[in-house]
Amino acid sequence: MAAPTQPNESTEIYRDRWRWVWLLSLLSPALVATGPLLMWWTGDAVSLWWPLVFLYGLVPLADWWIPPSRRNPPESAVSQLENDAYYRYITYALVPVLWLAFIFSAWFVATHDIPWHGVCAMVLATGAVGGFGINLAHEMGHQHNRLERHLAMWVLAPSAYGHFCIEHNRGHHVEVATPHDTASSRMGESIWAFVCREMPGGAKRAWQYEAQRLQHKGLAPVHWRNHILQGLAITALLWSGLVGWLGPQVMLFILPVAMWTNFQLTSANYVEHYGLKRLQLPDGSFERCQPRHSWNSNHVLSNWMLFHLQRHADHHAHATRRYQALRHFEDAPQLPSGYAGMFLVAYVPALWFAVMNPRLLDAVGHDPQRINFDLAQRDALCQRYNLT
């Protein structure tokens, strides 16, 4: 994590004393290798679970132990930070590393005698690393640089989620924190209900946007210039290559990995805007997205692993702002933990509602007009929390 100066500081040349720490992001995909290495060393397939213990146990503990960092780079340094190619080259280098991690995992599972619980551990660990890949695609897919947009497509290919950047940029960022957004979770909606709405809704919305783009060019939706189909073509080449190399049984590993990878995105979407709603104006439109419409986290370790994704309010205010320059906002509602910890809470709906519903009510000042309700539960929730 960077340790920048405070916003009110004035300096001509800003020096990010912790810029080297972002290099460690290249080690995130090593999570999938640590389990197999430990199994080779110990001879025990239970070792395959250690990456998950680290990700869902040690990372939340570290986030709890290390004080959150609210430091921001001075606004005068943002241009300098964003023009520093060093940060961009780190994301470029991570693309082949993620591909190698995916291919290594498929090879390991296909060529080793692993008990069923070990295969489950590899699916979850590989999918978690794939989630880092989607986050990388999220970072690059927002940029105007054509190279980065193409690299985002390649990062999404292993999990067959090539429509993500289209849906996210043209759909989610427009309709975020409104009842119309399939990627904004609602108060009272469990993550298990949300995934049934978000995944198919996102794919449908992405196809509609891409079909409209091609129509404006006088092209049919099914065309080689369709970005969704381009991504799926890369996926087909990768998967068929692995099948030809390792045998068709490798698909029994690849498919659940892809599902778990994509569910990591769903988990992030669920956490990022839970229950928050932009006020609807008299003309039916919604107010401009503000920092208060995103849940944020300044927990150090998880923010480093996720390229500051958890400073989500600034991302929605400045979608193309690069990760090293994202800021903390005092009026943005704060999560009690980083994403790794919050994902575990979300997977137990009763626990999630107990933790987050009171925080949501505090964040919106108990104003039901600023709550994005699950409509089927609106009346019951208003009665339970005495909302009028």
pLDDT band at residue 19 using 50, 70 and 90 as cut-offs: confident
Q: Would you place residue 268 in the very low, low, confident or very high pLDDT band (cuts 50, 70, 90)?
A: very high
Task: Tell me: pLDDT of 13 over 80.
Answer: no
What confidence score (pLDDT) does residue 142 get? 92
Residue bearing the bigger pLDDT, 19 or 37 = 37
Query: Bigger pLDDT: 31 or 107?
Result: 107
Residue 2 lies in a domain: no
pLDDT digits (tens, 9 = 90+) for 58-82: 999 999 999 888 888 888 888 888 8
**Which residues is 373 bridged to in the sheet?**
187
- So what's the pLDDT on residue 227? 96
Q: Is residue 323 part of a domain?
A: yes
pLDDT of residue 5: 39
Residue 85 included in any domain: yes
Q: Is residue 184 assigned to a domain?
A: yes
- Global pTM value: 0.92
Q: How far apart are CA 107 and CA 327, in angstroms?
A: 40
Residue 11 has pLDDT above 80, yes or no: no
Domain that holds residue 319: 19-384
Report the pLDDT value the prediction gives residue 2, as an integer from 0 to 100: 39
12 pLDDT band (50/70/90 cuts)? low
Q: Does the residue 243 lie in any domain?
A: yes
Q: Assess if residue 11 is contained within a domain.
A: no
Provide the pLDDT for residue 91. Answer: 94
Residue 1 included in any domain = no
Residue 171 domain flag: yes
Token couple for 121: 């551990």
Averaged pLDDT, 226-235: 97
The pLDDT, as a whole number, for residue 305 is 87
Determine the Cα–Cα distance for residues 315 and 275; give it in Å rounded to an integer.
18
Which of 72-81, 85-94, 137-146, 150-159 is predicted least confidently?
A: 72-81
What is the total count of domains within the chain? 1
The confidence score (pLDDT) of residue 20 equals 85
pLDDT, mean of residues 353-364: 97
Note the pLDDT tens digit of each residue in 244-262.
999 999 999 999 999 999 9
pLDDT of residue 8: 41
